Amino acid sequence: MTRARVLHAQLHLLDRQVVHDRDGRLVCKVDDLELDFDDQGRPYVTAILMGPLALGPRMGGVLGRLMEGAARLLGAQAPPRIPMADVSRVASAVHVGGDLERPALERWVRTRLIEPIPGARHEAE
Partner 1 sequence: MRLSDLLGSPVRDSSGEVVGQVADVRLVQDGPLLRQVQHAFRVAGLIVVARHTGRLFGYERGPAIKGPWLVKVLVRALHHNTRYVPWEQVDRIDGADILLRVPKRDLAHVSDLYSERIS
Partner 2 sequence: MKKFLGITLGILTAIGGFVDIGDLVANALVGSRFGMSLAWVVLLGVVGICVFAEMSGRIAAVSGRAVFDLVRERLGPRAGLANLGASFFILVMTVAAEIGGAALALELATGLNYLLCVPAVAFAAWLVMWRVRFETLERVFGLAGLALVIFVVALWQLGPDWGQLWHQASHPAPPQDEGVPTYLYYAIALLGGAMTPYEVFFFSSGGVEEKWTRRDLSVSRANVLIGFPLGGLLSLAIAACAATVLLPAHVQVDSLDQMVLPVALGAGQVGLGLVILGVFAATFGATLEVALSSGYSLSQYFGWQWGKFVRPREAARFHATILVVMVVATALILTTIDPIMVTEYSLVFSAAALPLTYLPVLMIANDRDYMQDKVNGIFSNTLGTIFMILLVAVSIAAIPLMLATKAGQ
Kindly list the residues in this chain that would bind partner 2 in the complex (CB under 8 A): 12, 14-18, 25-29, 31, 50, 55, 58-60, 63, 91-93, 105-106, 109-110, 113-115, 117, 119-125
Distance CA 108, CA 47 (A): 25
Task: Sketch the per residue contact string, 70 through 109, with partner 1: x for CB under 8 A, - otherwise.
Answer: -------------xxx------------------------
Distance CA 21, CA 99 (A): 10
Is beta strand 93-96 parallel, antiparallel or unpaired with respect to 17-20? parallel
| Structural contact between residues 70 and 59, judged by C-beta atoms closer than 8 angstroms | no
Is beta strand 32-37 parallel, antiparallel or unpaired with respect to 43-49? antiparallel
Q: Taking contact as CB under 8 A, which single stretch among the options 18-26, 38-46, 69-77, 108-116 is the one that binds partner 1?
A: 38-46
Smallest distance, Å, CB 96 to partner 1?
13
Contacts of 98 (CB under 8 A, 6+ apart): 82, 83, 86
Which entry of partner 1, partner 2, none binds 100, CB below 5 to 8 A by partner kind? none
Smallest distance, Å, CB 117 to partner 1?
38
